[in-house]
DNA sequence: AATGAATGAGGTTTCATTCAT
DNA sequence: TATGAATGAAACCTCATTCAT
């Protein structure tokens, strides 16, 4: 087995285990047994348990990032459709790969040693990207006025929460419905438009 | 020291430590040293590390729950104001007590053994409550139509994300501003109201 | 068993094992098995294997230092006798406690991580002390002229080598004879006094 | 690269590493990386880590042995000069090749598994040789009476200690001075010649 | 109600050596 | 002659929990 194949195999095994049992409850022993390799082989590819988790996050971040496309400037309707498409892509990606969702939305949170910096960095970049989209949207008159960073936060929050609750099993809905409702919140908010 | 005082002291110490270092990185040793108590004493009050974390979550959940008031039926403007007041209360509560925020929004996530059931239960109740408010709001014509559970999710998500990002330090804003923007998202969403 | 007793017991066991098998060939496992304690108990008293070795050296250094008495100023004959007494004391101490000799003269040498600094410090102090004695001796006209540090080195060297060779078993002599010969070298050197 | 060249290269690399880091702290990995050789290649030339150290000691022993010349019988002054020349040669050899000094005087000591037998053998041979010289010297009336083995020990001890302390850095002197003082100790001992 | 010495399962990591290519 | 992925025994250390005092 080539070096790269083995490394990939270990990452896959780790994803499944971290997703199913969590970071701390997964031991190197679990990983190597599931991968049917010797203890030393693991350390041939990763310096530590922390490192394989790090590299796994890198990998998952890339996949998530790749699943969304930048919004291209065009008529408002088309742009809204692209936003909606991105939401749908994210939901689909994470729901089709449950371990990935669990690791990103559950396991990577609350890890002081490993994930904190990574997550901060990841969300920092994600938010920057949404920020930019929001700002541009405001200039184009598509997005309502307001502090772009906080609007981004709200967008991200709705999405993450919907996915998270599905993952931990509190609520469960068809992806189509989830996307529709999130998009409705984005378009119209929650309250009926009355004069307050 | 009375039994209750000691117990309370241990819970306080645990809150600080779990908030600062996280669940796994906090050991019984840390707790008893910070509380200046012998090892055995800890186990007179809590059966295990898991249990003190459980009891701590119970406690924090109560405090959070207590900080929000049920929306009373009345004129739309008044109800919206009450919603806003609740959002503000939550933001203030969690930001004034950082360890509490960290434990609830960061440390309690990702704990398969301990927290998952608890969290599921907590969010289940929270969402039920919001659900109900949303449904009632829809009947009163205050909340726009749509699946109440998913609307609740979006509301919860915006709030949690705003608090979470503040806690992990990605973004930082004045509470007032955060509340205003979240409320704006609730009222009007993100996009400008144009015919799509 | 009291804390101190246990600690002392562990140090004694460690001395025997380090003396018999050497530092690297002795594992924590050996120590705890010989002491009939659990793994955790060891770490209750010493942070690491390195530390118990460190503390052991401290201890042995003290015992060695205690076995020699400072030379008191007096008539040359009396002072020479005191020198001889010190040599005898050292030989006796180390030969009666073979593990101690082995640890100090064999195991502590060649340990980069642990013993290097300790040994340097120990021999530094020993040499300083001999240096002083030599210098004073020179002023009193008892010791022949010459660089005191190097004379000290020669004295120390003769002693250490004699003990070391006995320990590794190359040569074996009665203590009395060893002391006599070393003292003879100190008094008269090796060559017959002829004009060169 | 020819078999012999590779072998020599590995021995050279090993000398540097063992000298700098010590036997245990040097891993096969260090050696092969420094030699830019694959893991398997190492084992084509040496059966084990122990063996390369063994062969290295053989090699160094030879070089040290080669640096001293047997004392030829002649007038006392000439013989003393030859003794002095040997001391100087040894000091020079070991000080010009620090790794060699470290391995022989530091790393080879305290190794139960590998070096003890080797060292015992080496010092046995060295002492036998000095023994002989001392005995002959006594018959010729050049060396003072006394147990030859112990006199040899003292001679060896002075020399080793002087070199060892230089190596571990406790003391540092010019070679010339070291040789002079050691020789002075050999000629006249340490104490002034008074009737005791 | 309090103490703190003792436990030992469980985890991570290292590294000399092998062997198929 | 050379390679380097794979091995796995063996070492170190941690920490939640127990229990006699």
The model's pLDDT over D109-132, given as tens digits with 9 standing for 90+, comes to 888 766 777 788 888 888 998 999
Q: How far is the CA of D157 from the C1' of E17 (A)?
A: 39
The pLDDT of residue B113: 66
Closest chain D C-alpha to C84 CA, distance in angstroms: 12
Prediction pTM value? 0.90
Quote the CA–CA distance of D96 and B114 in Å, as a whole number: 65
Q: In DSSP terms, which residues pair with C16 in a beta bridge?
A: none
Asked if the Cβ of residue A9 lies within 7 A of any atom of strand F, the reply is: no
Q: Where are the domains of chain C?
A: 1-46, 48-188
**Cα D112 from chain centre:** 18
pLDDT tens column, B47-76: 999 999 999 999 998 998 899 888 888 888
Distance from CA of C62 to the nearest CA of D (A): 20
Q: Mean pLDDT, chain A, as a whole number? A: 90
Q: Tokens 């020669």 correspond to what residue?
A: C154
For residue C138, the model assigns a pLDDT of 92
Spacing of C51 CA from E5 C1' in Å:
20
Q: Which residue has the higher pLDDT, C28 or A72?
A: C28
Is the pLDDT score of D194 beyond 60? no
Which single residue is written with the structure tokens 């973004």?
A: B171
Domain D48-188, CATH homologous superfamily name and number: Tetracycline Repressor, domain 2 (1.10.357.10)
- The arithmetic mean of pLDDT across residues A48-70, rounded, is 92
pLDDT of residue A191: 85
Rounded Cα distance, C101 and C18, in Å: 11
Most confident of A87-101, A121-135, B22-36, B181-195: B22-36
User: What pLDDT, on the 0 to 100 scale, is given for residue A55?
Assistant: 94
Determine contact, residues C24/C109, Cβ cutoff 8 Å: no
Q: pLDDT value at position A193?
A: 66
Torsion, CA C130, CA C136, CA C138, CA C142, rounded to 10: -90
Q: What SS3 state is found at A60? A: helix
* Distance, CA of B156 to CA of B136 (rounded, Å): 17
pLDDT digits (tens, 9 = 90+) for A151-196: 999 999 999 999 998 888 777 889 999 999 999 999 888 888 654 4
The predicted structure's pLDDT at residue A109: 87
Structure tokens at D153: 């020990």
User: What rounded mean pLDDT belongs to chain D?
Assistant: 90
DSSP letter (8 states) at residue C143 = B
Taking the C-alpha atoms of residue C61 and residue D109, their distance in angstroms, rounded to an integer, is 19
pLDDT at C119: 83
Contact A80, B196 (CB under 8 A): yes
> Cβ of A158 and B157 within 8 Å?
yes
Q: What is the pLDDT of residue B196?
A: 46
As a whole-number percent, the residues of chain A with pLDDT over 70 amount to 97
- Note the pLDDT of residue C196: 46
pLDDT beneath 50, residues of chain B: 195-196
pLDDT at D116: 75
Q: How many CA atoms lie within 13 A of D43 on its CB side?
A: 6
Chains A and D touch (3+ CB pairs under 8 A): no
Q: What are the beta bridge partners of residue A143?
A: B191
CB D70, CB D128: distance < 8 Å: no
Q: Which residue, counting CA atoms, is nearest to the C1' of nucleotide E19? A: D40
Nearest to B63 by CA among B99, B107, B110: B99
Q: How many angstroms separate the CA of residue C2 from the nearest CA in chain D?
A: 34
The partner residues of B143 in beta bridges, in order of sequence, read: A191
As its CATH architecture, domain B1-46 has Orthogonal Bundle (1.10)
Q: Are C153 and D158 in contact (CB under 8 A)?
A: yes
* C-beta atoms of C109 and D110 within 8 A: yes
C49 is near strand F: CB distance < 7 Å? yes
Nearest nucleotide (C1') to alpha carbon of A1: F5
CA-based max dimension of chain B: 68
Record: contact D158-C153, CB cut-off 8 A: yes
Which chain C positions have a beta carbon within 8 Å of D134's beta carbon?
A: 190
The set of chains that have 3 or more CB pairs under 8 A with D is C
Whether D72 has a pLDDT exceeding 60, the answer reads: yes
Interatomic CA distance for residues B160 and C36, integer angstroms: 54
Which residue of D139, D191, D193 is the best one to mutate when testing the C interface, meaning the one whose CB has the most C CBs within 10 A? D191
Cβ separation of A191 and B187 shorter than 8 Å?
Answer: yes
Q: Confidence band (pLDDT; 50, 70, 90) for D26? A: very high
Displacement of CA A119 from its chain's centroid (Å): 10
In this prediction, residue B111 carries a pLDDT of 81
Mean pLDDT of the D159-173 span: 88
pLDDT recorded at residue B114: 63
Report if CB B21 to strand E is under 7 Å: no
Distance CA C126, CA C40 (A): 37
CA-CA distance, C117 to C50, in Å (whole number)? 13
Q: Is the CB of B48 under 7 A from strand F?
A: yes
Half-sphere exposure of C160 (CA within 13 A, CB side): 23
Please name the residues in contact with B115: beta carbons below 8 A apart, sequence gap of 6 or more: B23, B53, B57, B107, B108, B109
Q: With an 8 Å Cβ cutoff, are C107 and D110 in contact? A: yes
| R_g over Cα of chain A | 19
pLDDT at C143: 92
Q: Is the CB of C25 under 7 A from strand E?
A: no
Mark yes or no for CB contact B181/A151 under 8 Å.
Answer: yes
The confidence score (pLDDT) of residue C194 equals: 55
- For C195, name the nearest residue in chain D, comparing CA atoms only: D77
pLDDT of residue A148: 93
pLDDT in tens, chain C (196 residues): 899 999 999 999 999 999 999 999 999 999 999 999 999 999 999 999 999 999 999 999 899 989 998 888 888 888 889 989 999 999 999 988 999 999 999 888 888 777 778 888 888 888 998 999 899 999 988 899 999 999 999 999 999 999 998 888 877 889 999 999 999 999 889 888 654 4
Listed residue (A26, A24, A54) closest to A122, CA to CA: A54
> Tokens representing B70?
């049920």
A38 vs chain B: nearest CA distance in angstroms?
A: 27
């Amino acid at each position: 087995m080539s070096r790269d194949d083995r490394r990939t195999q270990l990452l896959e095994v780790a994803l499944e285990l971290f997703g199913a049992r969590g970071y701390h409850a997964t031991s190197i022993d679990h990983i190597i047994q599931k991968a049917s390799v010797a203890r030393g082989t693991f350390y041939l590819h990763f310096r530590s348990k922390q490192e394989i988790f790090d590299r796994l996050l890198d990998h998952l971040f890339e996949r998530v990032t790749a699943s969304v496309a930048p919004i291209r400037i065009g008529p408002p309707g088309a742009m809204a459709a692209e936003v909606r498409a991105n939401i749908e892509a994210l939901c689909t990606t994470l729901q089709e790969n449950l371990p990935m969702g669990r690791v990103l939305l559950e396991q990577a949170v609350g890890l002081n040693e490993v994930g904190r910096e990574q997550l901060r960095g990841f969300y920092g970049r994600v938010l920057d990207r949404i920020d930019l989209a929001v700002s541009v949207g405001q200039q184009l008159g598509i997005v309502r006025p307001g502090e772009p960073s906080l609007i981004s936060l709200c967008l991200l929050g709705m999405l993450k929460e919907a996915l998270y609750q599905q993952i931990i099993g509190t609520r469960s809905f068809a992806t189509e419905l989830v996307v529709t409702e999130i998009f409705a919140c984005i378009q119209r908010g929650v309250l009926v438009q009355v004069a307050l």
